[in-house]
Amino acid sequence: MAKQVLEVSERTRLRTSGSRKLRVEKILPGTAYGPDFGPLNIEVGRDEFLIMIQKVSTTTSIDLKITKSDGGSMVKRAYLKQVQRHKVTDLPIHFDFFVPSEGHVMRIEVPIEYLNTPKGVDQGGRVDTFYESVEVEALPKDIPEKVTVDISDLDLGHFLKVKDLRLPAGVKSLLDSEEILLAVTMPKEEAEEETAGEEGVTQPEVIKEKKEEKKEEK
């Protein structure tokens, strides 16, 4: 993916009335912060922001080009932390960017992309997904946008665990290595039918045994 760049400006209109004027002007208020940065109140054109969020996720590194109120400027590596939306229109009304400290590890949720269909599905099974993402710890430069894993070889009754993921160098999962991410299981209805069928087969044998016991008693 091409490097993502967003040009923002330091926000000076901080009161509620100022925020309303920003929305009328189709400008979104936001905040950028980190361990060694800010918090800094910023703003950006709503249309530019809408275009950007269609291309990125919370694991996408974004270069924030910040124009300061005093005329100065700076560029900061940042990650989209949160987007608040209007309850009715669902349009963004506020956003947060996290600015990590270079050289220091950060914790972040990385999406998991499961590739292909497990063999177990062709055997009548279904896929139960327990995790759509995994929390990792890594330097900002090493954070992947997503983790992909091929699940085509999973048979019915098999599992995919955290230890089965191939994480990039420098990236450490914060989940236990034995944690199950995904399983190929038999649908509940079929499992119950199979159990009931087994019980139906064994029941006559038990009755027969009881009859034989009565004959011996006589």
CATH number at residue 26: 2.40.240.10
- Is 161 a domain residue? yes
Q: How many C-beta atoms lie closer than 10 Å to residue 114's C-beta?
A: 19
pLDDT at 207: 47
Query: Domain range holding 14?
Result: 4-101
Is the pTM higher than 0.85?
A: no
Question: What was the pLDDT predicted at 58?
Answer: 87
pLDDT in the model for residue 179: 97
Specify whether 8 is located in the same domain as 87.
yes
Cα–Cα distance between 164 and 158 in angstroms, integer?
12
User: 138 and 114 share a domain?
Assistant: yes
Q: What are phi and psi of 107, to 5 degrees?
A: -100, 135
The least confident of 15-29, 46-60, 72-86, 164-178 is 15-29
Where is 206: in which H helix or E strand?
helix 188-217
Kindly report, residue by residue over 122-170, the tens digit of the pLDDT.
989 999 999 999 999 999 989 999 999 999 999 999 999 999 999 999 9
Same domain, 47 and 76: yes
Do 8 and 92 sit in the same domain of this protein? yes
Question: How many whole angstroms separate alpha carbon 158 and alpha carbon 106?
Answer: 33
* Count of structural domains, the chain: 2
What backbone phi and psi angles, to 5 degrees, belong to 111?
A: -65, 145
The CA distances from residue 78 to 8, 35, 112, 137, 217, in Å, are 12, 12, 21, 16, 85
Q: How far apart are CA 162 and CA 28, in angstroms?
A: 39
Are 112 and 178 in a shared domain?
Answer: yes
User: Does any domain span residue 86?
Assistant: yes
Query: Are residues 124 and 142 located together in one domain of the fold?
Result: yes
Give Cβ neighbours of residue 110 (< 8 Å, ≥ 6 apart). 59, 133, 134, 135, 136, 143, 144, 145, 146, 147, 171
Angle at 175 between CA 135 and CA 53, to 5 degrees: 15
How far apart are the C-alpha atoms of 136 and 107, rounded to whole Å?
Answer: 6
**Could you please report the per-residue DSSP string of 33-47?**
EETTEEEEEEEEEHH
80 neighbors 53 (Cβ within 8 angstroms): yes
Q: pLDDT (tens digit, 9 = 90+) per residue, 59-98?
A: 999 999 999 988 899 999 999 999 999 899 898 999 999 9
For residue 50, is it within any domain? yes
Other beta carbons within 10 angstroms of residue 49's beta carbon come to 21
205 domain-assigned: no
Of 72, 101, 130, the residue at which a domain comes to its end is 101
Please name which of 177, 183, 125, 180 lies closest in space to residue 151, comparing C-alpha atoms: 183
For residue 114, the 8-state DSSP code is E
The type of residue at 130 is F
pLDDT per residue as tens digits for the range 187-196: 866 555 555 5
